[in-house]
Structure 1
Amino acid sequence: MKVALFDFDGTLYPHETFTILMERLKHHPKFGKNYRRFIRNFAPFYIGYKLKLVKKTKMQHKAMEYYIRSFKHNSKPEIEQFFSDVANDMALELRDSLVRKIRQLQKDHYYIMLISGAFVPLLEAIFKGFNIDCIIGSEVHYKDGRLDVKPQFERVHAERKIDIIRNHFKGREVDWKSSEAYSDSYSDLKMLELVGRPVAVKPDPELLAVASKNNWTIHRD
């Protein structure tokens, strides 16, 4: 089995997902109060980050956690409709060249995995109809039709991706040498090094240096 691994933010989607989510929540006619709730809870961690008292990874984790927790008074249909509305706009901005690449890889019988820190309902809405084999993201939990805030929130970040990938394919015969991976970020280096055909997509300076040194494909779109 050959696989193709795709990052989302900065790769399939050329912008920062969380920035879009913040703007949509802030100006939403129904969920604007959720934005105020989010800011109130997240502000101490952001200030701590700016004062270099809180690590960036923890600040990002808390941003995601308090964002989804701001929907604690909303029903599952309301939350999923919000993500669906955002997804409709984001889907129009996916990199066409990589969308075509996914379609070609599917024809060539690659197993397609999308792995991202973005919320699962958002990713599923964006890629509805794509027949992606596996979508990995930050889970949103529900209980009795409403957001369940009791389970510990787990954000899928770069350091966890390689373990998630290895666990997912454990016990399967994967032709890693013929497999492909796509990312824009040096933080995904381990994921890119896992395959025989890594592709740096509009890479950040650190990844560009590694890709150039190792003669990896550089997708400049």
Structure 2
Amino acid sequence: MKLAIFDFDGTLVPKDSLPFVLRHWKEQRYSKIKYYRTYFSLIFLYIQYKSERNFKMSREEMRILAVKKFNQIFVGMTQEETSQFFCGCSEKIIALLVKNMVSEIEVCRSQGYYTILLSGAHHDLLKYVGEHLGFDVVFGTQLHFSNNIFDPDIEVEVISGAMKKEKILEYFHYQAIDWSFSRAYADSYSDMDLLELVGQPVAVNPDVKLKAVALDRNWRTII
């Protein structure tokens, strides 16, 4: 089996999806109090990230914290309500998909690749997008529920950085994978572990550090 692994934020969609999801919350007239509380929490986090006093916080660490802070918006909601929210959100975010990357997915499928959508974005959002694009399997950040109500006290595992590689190796542990012919598509240097796992890494609109690596190693690059 050969895999084609696709990142989401910055790869299949041009930017991080979290601000879009928050904007959808506002447009659908969910709780204004929760919206502004979450909005200012994320703004404060971004200011911290940009501050010289917090230079040790990496972009990836900031994104993980952002997802965890954002999840507070779901406090009090049932699993059905959060799923319905992401379903509505996915209908709009599908319109933002990068066309040449959608074509890339179709090419991989026609060449017999097992297609995977793997991201730190919320699983329910990715699930609906993945169904639309025909992915074989989807991995995203899962919300946890107790008695069908979102439980903010259960630690959320944000699939990011090295964890992406771990997730793939864990899932395909008992299967024979042709890693040399497998592909991975990503935009960030933080995805290096995943990109180095496969024989055909592809840098998609890469950040500065990933662009330098891709150029040095003669990796395929999609702009």
Structure whose residues are more often helix by fraction: 2
Q: Give the C-alpha shift of residue 30 in structure 1.
A: 2.0
Partner of residue 202, structure 2: 199
Partner of residue 169, structure 2: 166
TM-score normalised per structure 1:
0.89
Give the length in aligned residue pairs.
Answer: 220
Matched residue SS, 1:55: coil
* CA distance, structure 2, for counterparts of residue 164 and residue 8 of structure 1: 15
TM-score normalised per structure 2:
0.88
Q: Give the C-alpha shift of residue 41 in structure 1.
A: 5.7
* CA distance, structure 2, for counterparts of residue 15 and residue 41 of structure 1: 20
Partner of residue 25, structure 2: 25
Distance 1:44 1:198, change over 3 A: closer
Does structure 2 conserve the Cα–Cα contact (< 8 Å) formed by 1:123 and 1:135? Answer: yes
Q: Give the C-alpha shift of residue 168 in structure 1.
A: 1.6
Distance 1:47 1:213, change over 3 A: closer
Does structure 2 conserve the Cα–Cα contact (< 8 Å) formed by 1:25 and 1:34? Answer: no
Query: Which structure 2 residues correspond to residues 131-170 of structure 1 after superposition, within 5 A?
Result: 131-170=134-173
Q: Give the C-alpha shift of residue 27 in structure 1.
A: 4.3
Partner of residue 129, structure 2: 126
- The residue type equivalent to 2:194 in the other structure is M
Q: Give the C-alpha shift of residue 7 in structure 1.
A: 0.7
Partner of residue 116, structure 1: 119
Distance 1:218 1:172, change over 3 A: same
* CA distance, structure 2, for counterparts of residue 14 and residue 219 of structure 1: 12
1:84 aligns with 2:87: yes
Distance 1:204 1:152, change over 3 A: same
Q: Which stretch of the first structure deviates more once superposed, 130-139 or 25-34?
A: 25-34
- RMSD in angstroms over aligned alpha carbons? 2.1
Distance 1:111 1:69, change over 3 A: same
Structure 1: gaps spanning 5 or more residues = none
Identity %: 32
* CA distance, structure 2, for counterparts of residue 42 and residue 20 of structure 1: 13
Matched residue SS, 1:70: helix
Moved over 4 A (4+): 39-48
Structure 2: gaps spanning 5 or more residues = none
Partner of residue 106, structure 1: 109
Q: Deviations over 1:175-216 (max 9, x none)?
A: 111111111111111211111111111111211111111111
Distance 1:141 1:5, change over 3 A: same
Partner of residue 38, structure 1: 38
Q: Give the C-alpha shift of residue 71 in structure 1.
A: 1.3
- The residue type equivalent to 1:169 in the other structure is F
Distance 1:136 1:35, change over 3 A: same
Partner of residue 55, structure 1: 57
Query: Which structure 2 residues correspond to residues 3-18 of structure 1 after superposition, within 5 A?
Result: 3-18=3-18
Q: Give the C-alpha shift of residue 49 in structure 1.
A: 3.6
* CA distance, structure 2, for counterparts of residue 45 and residue 106 of structure 1: 39
